Structure 1
């Protein structure tokens, strides 16, 4: 038994207040016999009740019953009845005070128990929230792993065309790569080599035919800033001969802004 936890459980206050069952009282009594610190704690609680009683009792109250006994012996029967009534009133007052003190101790013990239960419930809720968060992270990781395996399978497919897009005059250090499956009209763009777009700007991907030069928008990379791996799935059913990426105003443009052409690569350049 953890004696400190037992002392702090509030059961000793209930014992002193007389709020326990006979079986519980016997249990506390047995513990007091085995553990002097528990007995000492009970004595301290009782002492606290006495101090509380003294603090709440009238300042001029006299609890010496000897003068009352002398008064009784010198009075008539009628007077005796009056004195007995006063004594009974004093006894009732004393019981009222001690009962009130016991109620305070009982209330304190119950408040402590309620507070401990509330703290326990809070810890349980935190644990449940942590468990749910962990399960979500595991689910996300599992999904990411499946997507990564799927992407690796696609990139290793011998029928996939890999088209590198080199940096252009506006940003020579830029680069990207297109993985295009003509059979399924699906395409993956690896845009890891592009810098972060300025606020209010967005990258736009273009499919190009060269003669005559005809651009067709394949959409904007709206999630560029939040996508960690910078790999984007794009539908492309065009007879593309080249691919380019430009920097456009948010929402995209109907035609590419050539002055903001970041990368460009032709299908024929595949090695």
Structure 2
């Protein structure tokens, strides 16, 4: 592999021993079939199971894979930030460990980047026919309500802020994630809010997506946390915390 890959794929992982092996098999198979010059970074978020060991074992025969360890359980937002800021690619992306959006769909995000976008975000709602396994109705209801509130309060013009399938140019990732402050589930609206404030171009791209019944998010409990975090984001904006300088990180 050349010194610097063109693409970095970041996978945050917390207690994913039951599926991280299969996930890496699918991702590496896709990388090789597509001929992507890519690295795959798994960020272990303080797992108490064998997630790290599985990833390290996999990396022994797949040089594209490397493991990053968080200092304990810090949250998905922290994991994504850590992975993307340490990524070496010119295009960097993150995807959930359940691969609800098949990794081959990343080519749709990369195409948007090649066509001039700074950030490309996957959307489950632009083309609903692309949903292969829909969420239960109650999850759809709470998810759409949260997205509506987020759009109204934060002025985000996107159909789907929460889809865990997003890609960035290296410069855009360095800008957005150095300024990110939210470390858990509510980080998605923050990074989009920062990107708009920094005048970055964001393209929303319809992707194939299937709900995984093992999803850990609770729309009642985590939704309340996210609403609190939206308030924090607005407060941060008033204090000018998203206007600070960004220092490029060497690869």
Which one has more relative contact order, counting CA pairs under 8 Å at least 6 apart?
A: 2
Q: Whose helix fraction is larger, Structure 1's or Structure 2's?
A: 1
TM-score, normalization by structure 2: 0.22
The structure with the largest alpha-carbon Rg is 1
TM-score, normalization by structure 1: 0.21
Q: Whose strand fraction is larger, Structure 1's or Structure 2's?
A: 1
